[in-house]
Amino acid sequence: MRLSGIGVGRAVATGPVRRMPDPLPEPPEHETVADQDAEVARTRSALQQVAAELTERGARAGGDAKNVLDAQALMAEDPTLVDDVIARIENGRTGQRAVHEAFFEFQVMLVGLGGYMAERATDLGDVAQRVIARLTGVPAPGVPESDTPFVLVARDLAPADTALLDLDKVLALLTRDGGPTSHTAILARARSIPAIVGVGDADSLRDGQQVIVNAGTGAIDVDPTDQEVAEAKALIEERRAAANAPITPGALGDGTKVQLLANIGGAKDAAKAAELGAEGVGLFRTEFLFLDSKSAPTVQQQKEQYVAALKAFPGKKVVVRALDAGADKPLAFLNDSEEENPALGLRGLRVLREHEDILREQLTALAEAGAETEADLWVMAPMVSEPEESEYFVALARELGIKVPGVMVEVPSAALLAEQILESADFVSIGTNDLTQYTLAADRLLGTVAGFQDPWHPAVLRLVAEVGRAGRAAGKSVGICGEAAADPGLAVVLVGLGATSLSMTPAALADVRAELLTVTKEQAEARAKAALGASSAAGARAAAAALAETAAA
């Protein structure tokens, strides 16, 4: 039997299935407690114990996982949430029902805010499940423990679960829900875990069943033969050898250059990206310098962070995105007011124009950092919708000393007007995550519409092709900096559509580099043409794959 989904990366794995327990059922609504004071004390204790457990797990995990788990620990002891839980108990609810209602209500509010805040809703739900499990005396949902390696099967994974996966035990991930830009897919790609998401029949898999997981094809072979297992193990060895191959500049098989760049969030990521063979940085997300601040960091504080990152890439291109914040990432000093539809609200360059002093300070800090380092600094504006916005940003950036200013193409209007935008901008970079959600009217953080969040969709590819055409006509760089660039098969298509550089999580560089070397420019353009002719994301993926198989034969 063969199941299928959306593969993340190109890795292959084989082993027995271990299923992740389903979420706990909703606590009964009409149960009562005899002693409310005792119930309050019991629930406070459960919240504190979960917070302590998350903090301890974070300390063991370290790195980004520690940040995720520390944030969850704070949620468990958030005074507003705790007060809400206690009030519900005093109104007759059991501790577990009070936790369920209070946390769920807050989750709904976070999802309504969209963007960065909506991402925290999943974390909050995970905390609630852990507290309810402790109150009811059952094991907390989470990754099952095992003495032997296994393929993890789940409906979906909380970020904390993915961040803490034991890579010596978890061979691969299979999830029923999620798309190519879901949190699970992004973290799996960053940690180089073979994964297939959106597997509709994942619930049919049983503990102990043997499977072969091929992320490159998105296929799961269930109960394979000995011969199929032997072939899979041979593929695994081939991939291990490819991963250890010498790092070379990105190029197609005919020598056509394609810059392979890294997406980073700060100086700590830069060194690792350089080590993994990034030829520079295609997306430096600067909002992480601002998100935890009650006031805007000073020019000097920003400059120090920028210098640290730029020093990792002497003589190489580093593309910095100006602060991408606003209604979907509320900042007290920028815009903390609620909007009914924040994804379509005052965000990116729109909010920076409302607070030009913040933009001026950031551009000044970047210009000074660029002058003090040997990196080739490029700076781009987020959420540009029309040529006038490009003209505004480019003029201001040049005034403040930025030598190479450009803009991001994240909304359909910018893609359709790319030719006019490139009259002012020195380059454009396509953010495929947002471009996909705006093209298909599907919030990329909502699981209910995850099936639409697929950058292989021909509508998205046609917009990319329009930008590629404009870039060729103007003789200017067209980069890709969304998750689409990390998909090796899609990377070939994007180059065929006119992309001159690809930026991705550093862990994906080896796979993409190897895949590009298997095609010529003519073949990449042929796959792009085939994908454009499809009527669905699945059809585009299949059309490109068919040409790849023909070439391989």
**Long-range pairs for 434-439 at CB < 8 Å and ≥24 separation?**
434/383, 434/410, 434/482, 435/409, 435/410, 435/411, 435/460, 435/463, 435/464, 435/482, 436/181, 436/460, 436/482, 436/484, 437/343, 438/410, 438/411, 438/412, 439/412, 439/463
Q: Which residues contact 289 (CB under 8 A, 6 or more apart)?
A: 266, 297, 301, 302, 305
How many whole angstroms separate alpha carbon 141 and alpha carbon 55?
17
Q: What is the pLDDT of residue 39?
A: 94
How many whole angstroms separate alpha carbon 485 and alpha carbon 455?
10
Q: What is the pLDDT of residue 332?
A: 65
Q: What is the pLDDT of residue 336?
A: 58
**Position 546: which residue type?**
A
Residues 440-470: b if buried by 16+ CB within 10 A, e if exposed: bebbbbebeebbbbbbbbbebbbbbbbbbeb
Q: Which of 100, 355, 457, 481 is an active site residue?
A: 481
Which residue, 197, 226, 192, is CA-closest to 210?
Answer: 226
Q: Please tell me the total number of residues recorded for the chain in this structure.
A: 553
How many whole angstroms separate alpha carbon 8 and alpha carbon 216?
7
Strand order in the sheet with 2-4: 2-4, 219-222, 210-214, 12-19, 150-154, 170-175, 195-197, 6-8
Radius of gyration of the chain (CA): 24
How many whole angstroms separate alpha carbon 20 and alpha carbon 13?
18
Q: Which of 30, 100, 183, 457 is an active site residue?
A: 183
Residues linked to residue 15 through DSSP beta bridges, in sequence order: 211
Q: Which residues contact 169 (CB under 8 A, 6 or more apart)?
A: 146, 148, 149, 150
Q: What is the pLDDT of residue 330?
A: 62
How many whole angstroms separate alpha carbon 469 and alpha carbon 439?
19
Whether residue 30 lies in the annotated active site = no
* Domains and their CATH numbers in the chain: 2-10+143-226 (3.50.30.10), 36-136 (1.10.274.10), 259-552 (3.20.20.60)
Q: What is the pLDDT of residue 540?
A: 95
User: In the structure encoding, which two tokens stand for residue 546, read together?
Assistant: 């068919």
Whether residue 481 lies in the annotated active site = yes
Q: What is the pLDDT of residue 22?
A: 76
Q: Angle of helix 115-136 relative to helix 63-76, nearest 10 degrees?
A: 70
For the chain, 553 residues long, give each residue's pLDDT as a single digit of tens. 899 888 887 889 999 999 988 788 899 988 888 899 999 999 999 999 999 988 887 787 666 667 777 888 888 998 999 999 999 999 999 999 999 999 999 888 877 766 556 657 777 888 999 999 999 998 777 788 788 999 999 988 876 677 678 888 999 999 988 777 676 777 788 778 889 988 989 999 999 999 999 988 889 999 999 999 999 999 888 877 766 777 889 999 999 999 999 999 888 888 889 888 899 999 999 987 776 667 788 999 999 999 999 999 999 999 999 998 765 556 666 665 666 777 788 889 998 998 899 999 999 999 999 999 999 999 999 999 999 999 999 999 999 999 999 999 999 999 999 999 999 999 999 999 899 999 999 876 565 676 788 899 999 999 999 999 999 999 999 999 988 999 899 999 999 999 999 999 888 898 899 899 999 999 999 999 999 999 999 899 999 989 988 876 6
Q: What is the pLDDT of residue 208?
A: 94
pTM of the model: 0.75
